[in-house]
Structure formats: C-alpha cells, structure tokens
Structure 1
Amino acid sequence: MSDNGRDHFEIPKFEIPKDMRSMAEASFDQARKAFEQFVTNARDTAGKIEERNATMRAGAKDVSAKALSYAEKNVQSSLNYAQSLLKAKDLTEVMRLHSEYVQGQMRALAEQASEMGQAVSRAAMDAVKPKS
C-alpha cells in the first residue's frame, strides 16, 4: 500500500466515452455552423437595410427637389401677379387678373399635388422593392 510510508491511492482517469465525444463534437460543429450562418444572415440583412436607406434617401431627395422647384414656381407666379396688379388700370382689370391668377394657381397646385403623390409613391415602392 505504501512505498515510503504513505498510503497511495490511485485516482482513476476520467475519460469521455468515444461515442459521447463524437456526439459532443458534432453538436459543437452544428452550433458553430448555425452561429456562422446567423452572422452571415445578420450582415446580409444589415446590408439590405443600408441599401433601402440609401434608396429612401434618394427618393426623399427627389421629393425635396420637386417641392423646392414647386415653391420657386409658386413664388415667381405670385410675384408676377403682384407686378401685374400694380399695372392694372381699373377694378375690372384687377378682377380679371385675380381670376386668372387663382385659376392658374389652382391648376398648378393640382398638377404639383399629383406629381408629388407620384414621386412619393415611387420612392416608397423603390424602398420596399427587393434588390437583386
């Protein structure tokens, strides 16, 4: 029992059975592959979100440019109307100029609203369109 006066106990070696080790390694490999696939999918999704954001920014830029253009046209039209009023000779001419201005503005605003609606719809459709 003892070679130098001490009791000596042998601690049995603990080994994972071969089948259990193989299953654990296979599970680990599956977990690693699943995680790698998750990371790949997350990166792809992030990339698609960035593309959509870029598309939405482009659409918003187009809508903003149209709005600015319309505002400029409307202000110019108002200034032209004001200038024509200054040159009017009588009340009849003022009424005619006013009627022409209001009718022209109503047509312009209807066209602008239609074009803006189309631009917003296009931007929205582009933002949700699948990228190939």
Structure 2
Amino acid sequence: MNNLNLEIPSEVREFAEKTVDQARKAFESFVAAAQKATAQSEAAAETMAASAKEVSSKAIGFAEANVKAAFDLAEKMVQAKDPKEILAIQSEYLKNQVSAVQEQAKTLGEAVKKVVTQTTGSK
C-alpha cells in the first residue's frame, strides 16, 4: 500500500479560517440588524396602535356629542309653540353644530397629524 501523506498548506488553512470568520461576522451583523429592525417595527406598531386608539376614542366622543345635540334639538322642537320658535331653535342648533364640527375636525386633524409624526418620525 502506498501511504500518501497529504497536508493542507498553511496558506489555504489560514485563508479558510479568515473566510469562515468573515462569514460569521457578516451573519452576526445581519442578525443584529434584523433584530434592531424588528424592535423598531414593534415600537412603531405599538405607538401607532395607541395613537389610533386615541383618535378613535376622540371620534366616538364627538359622535356621541353630535347625536346628543340632535336629540336635544328634537326635544326642543317638539316643545316649540309656533313655527317661529322652531326656526329659532333650528338656527341656534345649526350655528352651534357648525362651530362644534369645525372644532372637532381641527382636533381630529391634530390627532392624526400626531400619529403620522410619531410613526414616520417627521416634524
């Protein structure tokens, strides 16, 4: 039998070790970046969810106030004594509702802007 004693040259071994080490470091960097991206996504999602809940809560509150105002209007109109009083009641209601809706739109707009700013990092 022929005994072949093959040795891997030290240059090849060193090159292989460096390649494995570089690949390991690249993989670790990739994993770290992926973990950071995941954490940022989770934080953004939590912020967005909390902000969306706040906007929804405000919108529901405004809807409640508007429906209550409509019921109050109906109650006042039923108790009106003549058409002149009905017109006065309705005129006052419309004036108040226009003002309320403008304020509600402003408040919701600011809340939505806050959500966008928080989730995108814009100012």
Identity rate, percent = 39
Query: Within 2, Cα distance between the matches of 1:40 and 1:62?
Result: 33
Q: Note the aligned Cα RMSD (angstroms).
A: 1.2
For structure 1, the 5+ residue unaligned runs are 1-7
CA distance, structure 2, for counterparts of residue 14 and residue 66 of structure 1: 79
User: What is the match of residue 5 of structure 1?
Assistant: none
Aligned to 2:37: 45
Give the Å deviation of 1:117.
0.6
Query: What TM-score does the superposition give when structure 1 sets the normalisation length?
Result: 0.88
Normalized per residue, which structure has more helix?
Answer: 2
Secondary structure of the 1:13 match is coil
Q: Please give the per-residue CA displacement for 1:67-95, whole angstroms capped at 9, x wherever unaligned.
A: 01101100110111000001101001101
Q: 1:71 aligns with which of 56, 60, 63?
A: 63
Question: Aligned residue pairs: how many?
Answer: 122
Task: Show the counterpart of 1:123.
Answer: 115
The Cα shift of 1:13 comes to 2.9
Per-residue CA deviation, residues 45-74 of structure 1 (Å, 9 max, x unaligned), is 101100000000011010011001101100
1:94 to 66, 69, 86: 86
Normalising by structure 2, report the TM-score: 0.94
Separation (CA, whole Å) in 2 of partners of 1:54 and 1:14:
60
Secondary structure of 2:81's match?
coil
Give the distance between the partners of 1:46 and 1:21, measured in 2 at CA: 37
Where structure 2 has 5 or more consecutive residues not aligned to the other structure, the ranges are: none
SS at match of 1:97: helix
CA drift at 1:113: 0.7
Query: Residues of 2 paired with 1:120 and 1:14: CA distance?
Result: 72
Q: CA deviation at 1:129?
A: 2.5
Q: Which runs of 4+ in 1 moved over 6 A?
A: none
Structure 1 residue identity aligned to 2:80: A
